[in-house]
Amino acid sequence: MQRGLHVGWGEAALPPHVDYPVEALAGECLSLMAGLDADTEGFLHALELRECPARLRCGISTAVLTLRAAEHGKSLAAYLLGAGATVPARVPVNELITDADPAACVQLAAAAIAQGQDTVKVKCTTERSLDLTRVGAIRQAQPEINIRIDPNESWPVAWAADQLNAMARFGIAYCEEPLPRGTPLAAYGELRRKTRVPIALDDSIRTTRDVELAALLGAADALVIKAQRVGGADKLLEIVKAATERGLPCTITSSLETSLGLYLGIHCTAMTPSPIAAAGIGTARYFAENVGDPPAIVNGHMAVPTLPGLGFDVQAWWDSRS
């Protein structure tokens, strides 16, 4: 989106497991915007009335909001937080460990420590013994590191509590949404009462109403939020505020996005209250090609852009495609 000298960029990233033609996605985006004036203040509200899917709304709203922020001479985070808010200079980033080999897991954890990171997220599976060995090896090698585990909604209710209790001796920071997608939040409340390992909800949290219900049912100790999944940075900020009011800390993660999405993730992380949880936005290595250089991890952190707007320019990549 461009107005005068300012340009707003956005990205609508589908989940990694979804195969959908790019042309169809672009066509859907244009259809949703047909007849609307993106220059008006009520544009995003009008888009919501058309029930725009969250990931398309994230791309569109990011372009609109980064443009507005640039026109006000503010970074996206500063613009959304409002006058008087303090934006941190940098945000912490966690390392992601997916290797099945325990020795490889230990090496990756050591590499994370070497570059200043203090938190790792270990992807877990239904191979219970192997996962205990992997996580245990990391804990033995790095007694001080923060370990998060993420079963990717693969653990059945029948043994999830037993596995969590077996993991408890490793000092797990939290377990991210272990139960199958669609599991009622009440079931997470029951799971929390059966284990000492904190539970973080991820896919189950998409709106402020989800936050309210999770708090009411005692379903979570923390929330994991993706801008793409909830509809953009403005919607994410609403969820963070609702969670903070209820004592639920938030971790910001990406959805396997390009460098543009990772810069958005930095701004979103900067909008969470202190102490800021290490964000899961160090995923650029999964891209063979990108739209620009990804944000660097320096001493375990990414710098928060201070330039007006997103602080990341995609123009060179865009021009190369024409």
Q: How far is the C-alpha of 25 from the C-alpha of 67, rounded, in Å?
A: 22
Give the CA distances from residue 318 to residues 28, 54, 72, 310, in Å, rounded to whole numbers and listed in that order. 20, 24, 24, 16
Phi, psi of 24 (to 5 degrees): -70, -40
What domains can you pick out in the chain, each with its CATH number?
Answer: 2-75 (no CATH), 90-303 (3.20.20.120)
User: pLDDT tens, 78-94?
Assistant: 999 999 999 999 999 99
pLDDT at 216: 98
**Which residues are CB-neighbours of 22 under 8 A, at least 6 positions away?**
none
Question: What does the block give as tokens for 103?
Answer: 């020795």
- Average pLDDT of the segment spanning 98-112: 98
Q: How far is the C-alpha of 231 from the C-alpha of 276, rounded, in Å?
A: 21
User: pLDDT tens, 205-215?
Assistant: 999 999 999 99
Catalytic residue among 74, 123, 235, 241: 123
User: pLDDT tens, 242-261?
Assistant: 999 999 999 999 988 999 99
pLDDT at 97 over 90: yes
pLDDT at 68 over 80: yes
pLDDT at 1: 64
Active site residue 194: no
pTM: 0.96
pLDDT at 306: 97
Percent of the chain with pLDDT over 90: 93
Whether a cis peptide bond, with omega within 30° of 0, leads into 295 is no
Percent of the chain with pLDDT over 70: 100
Catalytic residue among 74, 226, 235, 241: 226
- Average pLDDT of the segment spanning 281-296: 95
Amino acid at 94: N
**Which residues are CB-neighbours of 154 under 8 A, at least 6 positions away?**
124, 125, 126, 178, 180
pLDDT at 14: 87
Active site residue 226: yes
- Average pLDDT of the segment spanning 70-76: 96
How high does pLDDT run on average in the chain? 96
